Amino acid sequence: MKVVTLVASILSLFFFPLLITVVLVVIASFYIVPTAFVLGVLFDLLYGFNYSLPLGMIVGGGITFIVWRVRIFVRERIMSI
């Protein structure tokens, strides 16, 4: 399942609209945490950032941070019960 979501999120950068890509990246990030950041950097490299800030890297870093905190919460609170 980890490999399927990772490959699907990488391929979605090339073939799917941005919304589907974001959903697949969030799903893949729950299995492998830094996936969102790495794919955000790849997004910026592939399509170039049209703004003064690299938005793919910033959004990917934000998703990575949120998923990392959720994983810590689940591990410490829910799994300890």
Looking at this protein, which amino acid is placed at residue 46?
L
pLDDT tens, residue by residue, 36-74: 999 999 999 888 877 778 888 999 999 999 999 999 898
Instruction: Note down the domain range covering 64.
Output: 2-78
pTM comes to 0.83
- Please say if the pLDDT value at position 80 is more than 80: no
What total of structural domains would you count in the chain?
A: 1
Tell me how crowded residue 71 is: count the other CB atoms within 10 A of its CB. 13
The contacts of residue 60 (CB under 8 Å, 6+ apart) are 25, 36, 37, 38, 39, 40, 41, 43
- Burial status of residue 46 (CB atoms within 10 A of its CB: 0-12, 13-18, 19 or more): exposed
